[in-house]
Structure 1
Amino acid sequence: MKVICAGMSKTGTKSMQAALKELGYNVYDFMENFEYLHDDWVKILAEGGSTEDFRRMYENVDAVTDIPGNIFWDEIHKAFPEAKIVLTIRDEDKWIDSVENQYSKANKPIFFVLTFFSPTFKKLGRFGDKLACAIFGSASKASLFKAPTINSLLYKMKFRRHNAHVLQNAPKDKLLVFSVSEGWEPLCNFLGTPIPSTSFPRKNVRENRPELVKEYMANNPTFIRAQREMKISFALFVGLLGFGIYKLSRTTPTTWMDTIGGALASLRS
């Protein structure tokens, strides 16, 4: 582990992931933590973890961004004391506005269909809920017809406390306080890497968030597997539904109504 990005989500973490990848680092963001370290994180969230656990989890990883690594930055740094720490910052009002906007877009019908028909996507949702409870004390409740809401006051308090904790406890000689709007120069000077000739990446910002979702759906292994599971499960569902309708059509109304009535009676008893 060479770089620990301790900034809260929505402070440019996806841009940081892209930037570090461009600099040649092997980066674990939220999805990589889910895909490769899910069981480790579930254990840590339920029972706690040791320095040895974090050293084993990240021994072949160069950098970590976004949740859950940013929240556990200090524990990861204990396992890799030579790693550098980047605290990405953002104006608080703009930050909470971005958080609320992202939640408001979370009730897309495709996500509910995936959750219903894909075990993998349901597992991903449970993982996100566990992290939300650990970080903010509660998980938002999504609905197909109503966007999830958050406690903005609580979120802003957590945001301030997290940043204060990093500023107070991170070794000053290993800490960079950084805004992605500053571009390559301060980051590369801090990391000791050449400055790329390309523009600094801008990922998961409001205007290009739909493109990021499309990119995940097309290229991310978890989303690809979830879509495949959805197609199989939906096909089975339609097949069973069709078979059930066929069987009902072959019986008299009295027979299938008696069957339904008997099933309801058994449930009441």
Structure 2
Amino acid sequence: MTLEVIGAGMGRTGTESLRLALQILDLGPCHHMVELRADAALVPPWLTAMQSGATPDFDTALKGFASQLDWPGAYYWRELADWAPNAKVILTTRGFDGWYASMQQTILPFVALKGRHHPPHRNDIAEFVDLMLTKQFGGKLDDPAHAKAVFEAHIETVKATIPNDRLLLLPVGAGWRPLCDFFGLPVPDADYPSGNTTKDFQDRIAANLRED
């Protein structure tokens, strides 16, 4: 299966809602962190790459997927854009303050609980996310000013690198129209989906903690 969509947006920028939208538009299956949580077999290529510093084997990591969103794939957006030169790129965005608050309430607590997640492969996810965030933010994600600079530089770098006719900048809350126009598809007769709220994320962590 050929990869048709590359997601360059960081986690917590509406990627789960977009995943659901792509599936409605028949642009799935979509590789997303939700798929890794559900299937332990998808995790090793990403963990190995993060530990070694090598580029993942995308033929293995993305086998069977037509689209990719969210971390860890979004960390490798440059490499993916070269690997799948005909794929469209979507850069999901949101304001920094909302993004940073969401990270502090979701992904960072998930990483901090590494070793306590069930099933066990979710601890491997926490491991590679920890490594990825350390690399992407230079070990200073706890510094809001530094984190904001990295977050905003990421957006500008993607915009400067990917040609306009290949790139869709998609802010949270933009709805169907820009997405459908980008792919030349009709707007579905359904509300744009919403998923993986902060509460959803927190409830899932609590429900899947291993009892000591």
Normalised to the residue count of structure 1, the TM-score between the two structures is: 0.65
**Separation of aligned partners in 2, 1:114 and 1:130:** 15
**Separation of aligned partners in 2, 1:88 and 1:15:** 11
Query: Which has the larger Rg?
Result: 1
**Separation of aligned partners in 2, 1:113 and 1:38:** 15
Relative to 1, partners in 2 of residues 1:181 and 1:112: Cα closer, same or farther, differing over 3 Å? closer
Matched residue, 1:49: 55
Name the aligned partner's letter for residue 87 of structure 1. L
**Separation of aligned partners in 2, 1:56 and 1:118:** 22
Structure with a larger share of its residues in helix:
1
Deviations 1:65-94 (A, max 9, x none): 111111211111111101000111222233
Q: CA deviation at 1:55?
A: 3.6
For residues 77-116 of structure 1, the aligned pairs below 5 Å read 77-102=81-106, 106=109, 115=116
Q: CA deviation at 1:33?
A: 4.3
Name the aligned partner's letter for residue 42 of structure 2. L
For residues 119-134 of structure 1, the aligned pairs below 5 Å read 119-134=120-135
* Moved beyond 6 Å, runs of 4+: 215-218
Matched residue, 2:33: 30
Matched residue, 1:258: none
Q: CA deviation at 1:155?
A: 1.6
State whether residues 55 and 80 of structure 1, in contact with CA within 8 Å, keep that contact through their aligned partners in structure 2. no
Name the aligned partner's letter for residue 64 of structure 1. Q
**Separation of aligned partners in 1, 2:205 and 2:184:** 31
Percent identity, aligned pairs only? 28
Name the aligned partner's letter for residue 143 of structure 2. N
Q: Does residue 7 of structure 2 align to residue 14 of structure 1?
A: no
Structure 1: segments with no counterpart, 5+ residues: 141-149, 235-269
Query: Aligned with 1:8: secondary structure?
Result: coil
Matched residue, 1:65: 69
**Separation of aligned partners in 1, 2:206 and 2:106:** 17
Relative to 1, partners in 2 of residues 1:71 and 1:62: Cα closer, same or farther, differing over 3 Å? same
Relative to 1, partners in 2 of residues 1:56 and 1:167: Cα closer, same or farther, differing over 3 Å? same
Query: Aligned with 1:115: secondary structure?
Result: coil
Q: CA RMSD in A?
A: 3.0
State whether residues 6 and 67 of structure 2, in contact with CA within 8 Å, keep that contact through their aligned partners in structure 1. yes
State whether residues 7 and 90 of structure 2, in contact with CA within 8 Å, keep that contact through their aligned partners in structure 1. yes
State whether residues 55 and 79 of structure 1, in contact with CA within 8 Å, keep that contact through their aligned partners in structure 2. no
Name the aligned partner's letter for residue 57 of structure 1. A
State whether residues 130 and 139 of structure 1, in contact with CA within 8 Å, keep that contact through their aligned partners in structure 2. no
Normalised to the residue count of structure 2, the TM-score between the two structures is: 0.81
For residues 175-186 of structure 1, the aligned pairs below 5 Å read 175-186=167-178
Q: How many residues align?
A: 205
Query: Aligned with 2:75: secondary structure?
Result: coil
**Separation of aligned partners in 2, 1:123 and 1:113:** 8
Q: CA deviation at 1:121?
A: 3.7
State whether residues 114 and 127 of structure 2, in contact with CA within 8 Å, keep that contact through their aligned partners in structure 1. no
Deviations 1:73-117 (A, max 9, x none): 11111111010001112222332233233368x37xxx9597177
Structure 2: segments with no counterpart, 5+ residues: none
Relative to 1, partners in 2 of residues 1:217 and 1:194: Cα closer, same or farther, differing over 3 Å? farther
